[in-house]
Amino acid sequence: MLDPRKLHLLRELSRRGTIAAVAEAAAFTPSAVSQQLSALEREAGVPLLERTGRTVTLTPAGHLLVEHAHAVLEQLERASAALAAVRGGPAGPLRVGAFPTAARVLLPPALRCLAADHPGLVPMVSEIDPADVSAALRARELDVALVHEYDFVPPVTDGALETEPLFAEPMYLTDRPSIAAAADDPWIAGTPGTLCHTMTIRACQAAGFEPDVRHHVDDFDTVLAFAAAGQGVALVPRLAARTPPAGVRLTPLPLHRRTLVAFRRGHGDHPAIRATITALRRATTELDL
C-alpha cells in the first residue's frame, strides 16, 4: 500500500527539484526525506528516483506516480472536507494568506463577517507574496489564500491547487496620461521576481520601451508616497489607490489586476473554506469592488 505522506514528498520533489528544498518545506531533515522516498520506492516495487552524485531526478515511473499522486491527494482532501461538514459548522484554526493590499483593505471586513457568522473559527492571517502561495498551501502552512494575476503576466498554474475568482480591478498610472508618455521617467516597481514587478516591466515593453526602474518598493502606500515626492511614476491597482496622497494624479488604464481565492484541490467544499469565500464576497460587495 502506497503511503500518502510519502506520495506528498515525491510530488514536492517533482516541483522543488532537490531533496534539501523538500526537507526545508516539510520541516524534515534531508536524510529523513531520502529515507521516506526510498521506502516509497520499495512500496512501489520500481525505481522512482535516479541519483547522479548529489542530483536526484524522477524516473519515468516516478513521473507516472506523481500524476497519480495528484488524484490520490485530491481525493483525501475531499474526504477531509466531507468529514468536516458532517462534524458541523466551521470551527478551529483557519490559516489565511493574503498579499498586503488585500490584507489591509479586504480582510478586515471579511474577518468581521466570519466572526459574526462562525465564532468557532479562529483565523490566523499571514502576509505572503502570491508567488509563494502555491508552496505554502501544498505544505499546509496555509488553508486558503488570496492571490492575484495581472494582464501581461500569465497565471501561475499548479495542478495541486484550485482557485475561484473574487473580483477584478483597473490599474492606474501616476502623474502621466499614458504609459508611453512615461518612457523617459524614473519608475517605481516591486521587488524583482514579484508579479507586480513583472507587470510593470511587461506593460512598459508593450508600450515600446524598457523602464528605468529607480526604486523597488512592494508596499503601495510607500509607492504612492514616493510618487507624491516626485521620485518616479508607478502602476497602482485600484485597491491600493482608494485614497491617494495629495498631488498624485491617477490615470485609469485598460489594464487589470484580478484577485482570486486559492486552496488545495479537493478542499474547496470544506466548511471553513466555503465560509471564508462567502465572507470575502460579502466584503467585496461592501467595498464596491
Do both 135 and 263 map to the same domain? yes
pLDDT at 122 over 90: yes
Q: Is the dihedral of CA 175, 181, 187, 190 positive or negative?
A: positive
Alpha helices per DSSP H over the chain = 4-16, 19-26, 30-44, 60-87, 100-101, 107-117, 133-138, 195-206, 220-228, 271-286
The per-residue pLDDT for range 149-191, each reduced to its tens digit, is: 999 887 777 778 899 999 999 999 999 999 999 999 999 999 9
CA atoms of 30 and 168, how far apart (whole Å): 42
Selection from 119, 79, 89 nearest residue 271 by Cα: 89
pLDDT tens track for 60-69: 888 888 788 7
pLDDT, greater one: 165 or 36: 165
Are residue 63 and residue 179 in the same domain, yes or no?
Answer: no
Q: Mean pLDDT in the chain?
A: 88
pLDDT of residue 23: 77
Based on the fold, state whether residues 277 and 144 are members of the same structural domain.
Answer: yes
CATH number where 233 lies: 3.40.190.10
CA-based R_g, the chain, Å: 22
Tell me which of 58, 84, 110 is where a domain ends: 84
Domain count of the fold of the chain: 3
Three-class DSSP category at 120: coil
Mean pLDDT of the 83-87 span = 69
Comparing 55 with 244, the larger pLDDT belongs to 244
- The more confident residue out of 268 and 83 is 268
269 and 161 in one domain?
A: yes
Q: Does residue 173 sit in the same domain as residue 223? A: yes
pLDDT tens column, 248-269: 999 999 999 999 999 998 888 8
CB 34 within 8 A of CB 19: yes
Residue ending a domain, among 84, 105, 127, is: 84
User: Does 59 lie in the same domain as 109?
Assistant: no
Burial of 254 (0-12, 13-18, 19+ CB in 10 A): exposed
Tens-place pLDDT, residues 138-156: 888 899 999 999 998 877 7
Write out the residue range of the structural domain in which residue 40 sits: 4-84
Residues 46 and 176 grouped into a single domain:
no
Q: Looking at residue 85, what is its pLDDT?
A: 66
* 79 and 135 share one domain: no
* Angle between helical axes of 4-16 and 60-87 (0-180°, round to 10): 120
53 and 22, same domain (yes or no): yes
17 — alpha (psi -120 to 50), left (phi > 0) or beta?
Answer: left
User: Are 103 and 233 part of one and the same domain?
Assistant: no
Q: Is residue 155 located within the same domain as residue 196?
A: no
The pLDDT of residue 245 is 93
Using the predicted structure, report yes or no on whether residue 214 has a pLDDT greater than 80: yes
CATH code where residue 30 lies: 1.10.10.10
Residue 278 shares a structural domain with residue 142: yes
Residue 141 has, within 13 A of its CA and on its CB side, a CA count of 15
215, amino acid identity: H
User: What is the H or E stretch that residue 84 is in?
Assistant: helix 60-87
